[in-house]
Structure 1
C-alpha cells in the first residue's frame, strides 16, 4: 500500500470513528455558514430525505464515472476495500487527490447516527448537497470528511485529501468532497 493510500485509510478510519464515537476532533479553518436542509427531521435531528435514492443497488467503485473522476483529477480506477462495518468501499488515489468512498446500507440509521454522535462538535456542519441532507464532520487544510444521506436508512462517507499541486494551489478539500457527493447522488437510482 502506498503512503498516499495509507493516509486515505487513516482518514476513512477517523471519519468512521467520528461518526460512531465522536472521536478524531480536528481544528477547522474558515468554516462556511450552515445550510438549511429540511423542515422535518428524525428524532436525532437529522433531516428526513424527501426524494430517496438507492445506494445499495450500486458497486462502490462504479459510483463515479470516468468523466467525473477526470474532472476531480482522480485516477480512472478505484481500489475496492472493506469498510469497518463490513461493506465494500472504494479508494481512488494519486499524487494529487485521494478520495475514499464508503457506503453504509447495513445499519439502517442513515444520517441519524452522524447527528446523534457529532452534533455539538466544533467540526459538525449540517448542509444540503444536491437537495440531500449531509454533514461535514471534519475539515483540515488538506482534508475533509462528509456524510450524505440518499435515504433515511442509507448514508455514504466521502473522505478526501488534496495533495501535490492541488495542495500547493490551496484547493478546498471540502469543495471537492462536496463535488464527489454531488456526482455520486447524480448517479444513484431513485427509490429505496
Structure 2
C-alpha cells in the first residue's frame, strides 16, 4: 500500500504496516503550569506577544475542521478518518491516523489546561520541558516546539504550541512512520501543519 504524502511536509507517513498510534508525543505536552502569581502576568517575561487574537469558538466545537479533507489527503493520503474528542483531558481535539501504517498521524488539541497561553510553556523551559525550540512565527502568531524529552530522532514525534492569543494555544502534534524516523525533521512538518491550521482559523471556516 502506498501512502500519498506531500513532499513539502516531509512525508509524515510511509508503508510500514503495524498498529496505529497516537501522534501525541509521550512527553505529555498538554500539561502546562499554574497561572503566575500576582495577577494576569500574561505574556510572561520573554514570551512573544500575539498581536491579533483569533476566535477559535467554532473549532473548539468542531476540532476536525482544523484541517480540510483535501489538506488531510495531501498530508496523509486517502481513506483517513478524522477522530474528534470534545472532552479530551487537554481540551477539544481531533486526530487523524493512517490505516495500516505504524504510528503516523496528526493531532490538534485546543488546549484548555489553563488560560496563560505560551507563558505556561515558557515557564517550564529547561525544567519540565527539557526540549524547547521556538519556531518561526506565522502571520504574527508565535510557535514553540516543546516536550519533556526530544523525540524527533528517537520516535519521529514533535508537538508545537501555536498561540492564537496571549491566553490560548493549540497543540499541533505529528508522528512519523517508523520508516522516516531519523531521516526527516518532524518539527518542520509540524510547523507546516500548524501553518495550515492557522490559515483555516483565519478563514473562519
Matched, 1:134 2:143: yes
2:159 aligned residue (141, 145, 166)? 145
Whether the 8 Å contact between 2:111 and 2:168 is mirrored in structure 1 is yes
Q: Do the aligned partners of residues 106 and 14 (structure 1) sit closer, same or farther apart at CA in structure 2, a change above 3 Å counting?
A: closer
Q: Equivalent residue for 1:185?
A: 198
Q: Find the aligned partners of 1:126 and 1:71 in 2 and give their Cα distance.
A: 26
Q: Equivalent residue for 1:84?
A: 89
Q: Secondary structure at the match of 2:44?
A: coil
TM-score (norm 1): 0.73
Q: Equivalent residue for 2:8?
A: none
Which consecutive residues of structure 2, in runs of 5 or more, have no partner in the other structure? 1-17, 35-41
Matched, 1:111 2:88: no
Alignment RMSD, CA only? 2.9
TM-score (norm 2): 0.69
Q: Report 1:27-176 matches (<5 A).
A: 42-58=43-59, 59-73=62-76, 76-81=80-85, 82-85=87-90, 87-94=91-98, 95=101, 97-105=104-112, 107-118=114-125, 121-130=129-138, 131-138=140-147, 139=150, 140-141=152-153, 142-165=156-179, 167=180, 170-176=183-189
Moved over 4 A (4+): 119-122
Deviation at 1:44, TM superposition (A): 4.0
Q: Find the aligned partners of 1:169 and 1:62 in 2 and give their Cα distance.
A: 30
How many correspondences in the alignment? 166
Q: Secondary structure at the match of 1:180?
A: helix
Rg larger for: 2
